[in-house]
Amino acid sequence: MEMVGVSVSKTIRKFRRKSWCKLISSGFLLIILCFLSVKSQLLYRETWSPTRYSSSSFYLRLPELGHNNRNLQNIVLYGGVRHGKPGVPSDKLYVFENTRNPTLVTDQGKVNRKTDSLYLKNMEIGRNRRLPQAIIIGVKKGGTRALLEFLRVHPDVLATGPEPHFFDKHYHRGLEWYRSLMPETLPNQLTIEKTPSYFVTKEVPARIWKMSNSTKLLLVVRDPVTRAISDYTQIRSKHGKIKSFESSAFLHNDTSQINVSWIVLRIGLYIKHLENWLSVFPLEQIHFVHGENLVTNPGEEMSKVQKFLNLKPVITEKHFFINKSRGFPCIKKKISNKRGHCLDESKGRKHPDLPANVMASLRRFYRPFNERFYQVTNINFNWT
Ligand code: A3P
């Protein structure tokens, strides 16, 4: 009887040990499997994001600069014609045509609709955060907010809300940080941002060029004298009591001695800043928006902007109406809408009246710089 009892307890212990072993090894296996699946998901996420564009074409956007495209060297597509070369770095778009169910083979393995839900989701929706293809680079107080808000009405344009200041203040954060600020767009939509301080920051042109040498640049310019007064008015409204315009603009209280080191005046030396941009970008890649005309004839300015950006001419003069109390144009999302969107009170402030001799001195100062600006841009802005 005792013998039977011992052998039964031995069997139970053995059985217990075995099931523990089984349990531990299956847990271990589970952890490895989880790790592998998470790792592969991350790799997919990091390396590429295919998007579906139409029923028979597939777009594969390689991650923009800052990513290692090593894993994409071995792309093979079954069941379609491929345009574009694999292995070409950065933000090239790969188009796969005439294929309904392609299988991509990357270094991470085979991927198709059935095997990757992220891939499927991206293909179906085609939505992604993209680096901007166009940037409003300035000029501060030129009408940059109006331009951005007007462009936003276009169905193919999406823009960041606040100014990102990536290329002047946050460059060290990297392009992925910058991209994370961008709105999600479809492949046929344009991403745009505006940061007016880019125009006067020396390092910015080369940095934008490095991101993409096809970036389109928009610059809204306005009479540098009224621009300076507008800038001063804004500073005063933010900081309360500050020195008078004249005491900052002139040295030794002498209206013939301009204080060129005052940033408010320096920004208006458009030709100086433009020369810096033209040492990197060709002139054709910069579109100049006439700031005064943007107020008096927004439809005309917007039709030029849409042409430059290769957008359908959706925004016309019919989208605008004048806010009678403020005298500035507001925009309607649809022509048929009764109401529209006007810029807030911080735009279109009342300027202080400056004495005639101060105005004359400022005009004299800017005249030769303006003349050179007209020559280089081939546009006569007619600032007196
Ligand atoms: P003021 O406030 O001095 O009149 P920015 O957006 O670059 O800061 O420029 C502000 C300027 O945009 C304003 O300067 C105003 O003159 C000009 N502007 C152009 N179109 C406008 C609009 N539709 N509504 C309000 N301001 C507009």
Residue ranges of the domains in the chain? 47-126, 134-377
Residues 205-255: pLDDT tens digits?
Answer: 999 999 999 999 999 999 999 999 999 999 999 998 899 999 999 999 999
Distance 245 CA to ligand 1 centre (A): 20
Residue 217 identity (one-letter amino acid): L
Position 23 scores a pLDDT of 64
Torsion, Cα of 96, 102, 104, 105 (10° steps): -130
Between CA 238 and CA 281 the distance in angstroms is: 35
In the block, residue with structure tokens 């060029």: 209
Q: How confident is the model at residue 129 (pLDDT cuts 50, 70, 90)?
A: confident
Position 184 scores a pLDDT of 84
Give the DSSP per-residue string, 253-281. Answer: G-TTSB-TTSHHHHTT-HHHHHHHHHTTS
Q: Atom 17, ligand 1: which residue's CA is nearest? A: 143
Between CA 95 and CA 187 the distance in angstroms is: 11
Does ligand 1 come within 6 angstroms of the Cβ of 268?
no
pTM (two decimals): 0.72
Please provide residue 190's backbone torsions phi and psi, each rounded to the nearest 5 degrees. Answer: -105, 130
Does ligand 1 come within 6 angstroms of the Cβ of 349?
yes
Does ligand 1 come within 6 angstroms of the Cβ of 230?
yes
Cα distances from 283 to residues 138, 194, 274, 288, in angstroms, run 15, 19, 9, 10
Please report the atom of ligand 1 found closest to the CA of residue 346. 2
From the centroid of its chain, how far is CA 98? 32
What is the DSSP code (8-state) at residue 173? G
CB burial of residue 243 (10 Å; 0-12, 13-18, 19+): exposed
Residues 148-198: pLDDT tens digits?
Answer: 999 999 999 999 989 999 999 999 999 989 999 999 888 889 999 999 999
Nearest to 131 by CA among 177, 83, 196: 177
CATH 3.40.50.300 fits 134-377, yes or no: yes
Nearest to 209 by CA among 282, 129, 307, 128: 282
In the block, residue with structure tokens 């804004």: 234
Distance 23 CA to ligand 1 centre (A): 70
From the centroid of its chain, how far is CA 131? 5
Does ligand 1 come within 6 angstroms of the Cβ of 326?
no
Q: Look at residue 252 and give its three-state secondary structure.
A: helix
Q: Atom 2, ligand 1: which residue's CA is nearest? A: 348
Does ligand 1 come within 6 angstroms of the Cβ of 160?
no
Residues 72-119: pLDDT tens digits?
Answer: 333 333 333 333 444 333 233 343 433 444 445 443 444 444 444 444
Instruction: Please compute the mean of the pLDDT values over residues 106-135 and round it to a whole number.
Output: 60
Q: Atom 8, ligand 1: which residue's CA is nearest? A: 141
Q: Atom 14, ligand 1: which residue's CA is nearest? A: 348
Whole-number CA gyration radius for the chain: 30
Residues 293-335: pLDDT tens digits?
Answer: 999 999 999 999 999 999 999 999 999 999 988 999 999 999 9
Mutation probe of ligand 1 site: the residue of 135, 136, 145 with most atoms within 8 A of C-beta: 145
Q: Look at residue 144 and give its three-state secondary structure.
A: helix
Does ligand 1 come within 6 angstroms of the Cβ of 142?
yes
Q: How confident is the model at residue 5 (pLDDT cuts 50, 70, 90)?
A: low
Q: Is the pLDDT of residue 8 over 60?
A: no
Q: Look at residue 272 and give its three-state secondary structure.
A: helix
